[in-house]
Structure 1
């Protein structure tokens, strides 16, 4: 499993603002947890299930942050995934902990934010 390639594809897709390519990095039944889910959708557990919910979340994120950019700070790897630390355009640092499935798609993602984020 090429973890570096997966992280690079994800970052490149966001840089192009290619939502289809971003979502190609995720499994169909992805389990995604982030504090932005709590704020945007009022879900106390911060959890989204599946690509359809994730697409709506990312579409709203692009609307809320039209100048969205990610600058990688570190990639830490494990046998089945990685943690990507990056800085957003607004200075907020984010750590995405990604577990890949057997096909190399993000099956579980937990996003941790240094500060509040819409």
Structure 2
């Protein structure tokens, strides 16, 4: 099971990296073979995709997404801890409640992430 201090440290650094718009710091939390799922992917990429596969594709997607949202800001609401995963509940710049779940691999990097919006 993940510890509360690990989860809080991860959430704090992850949110700060997003709020600083630091793509390399954001990506530092993820493994090379990351699979990211979000209903926002299709809109940002202009395709029917609901997932992004691999760190390089994720960098491209988030670089484009950040360019479309100059006012982006995340505010922490809560952290939920599981055995090998944690979920961060946060409110974004659009006042939407977001739950993002991160599954960690053996190296301590995120291997799968799923974003869900209210």
TM-score by length of structure 2 reads 0.89
1:66-118 CA deviation, whole Å, 9 max, x = no partner?
A: 0110001110000111011111111112110110111211110010011xxxx
Following superposition, the deviation at residue 38 of structure 1 comes to 2.0
Structure 2 gap segments, 5+ residues each:
none
| Corresponding residue pairs, total | 113
State the partner residue of 1:113. Answer: 117
**What is the aligned counterpart of 2:26 among 19, 22, 26?**
22
CA distance in 2, matches of 1:52, 1:110: 17
Q: RMSD of the alignment, in Å?
A: 1.2
Following superposition, the deviation at residue 43 of structure 1 comes to 2.9
Taking a change above 3 Å as real, the CA distance of residues 40 and 15 of structure 1, as seen in their structure-2 partners, is: closer
Following superposition, the deviation at residue 6 of structure 1 comes to 1.6
Following superposition, the deviation at residue 52 of structure 1 comes to 0.8
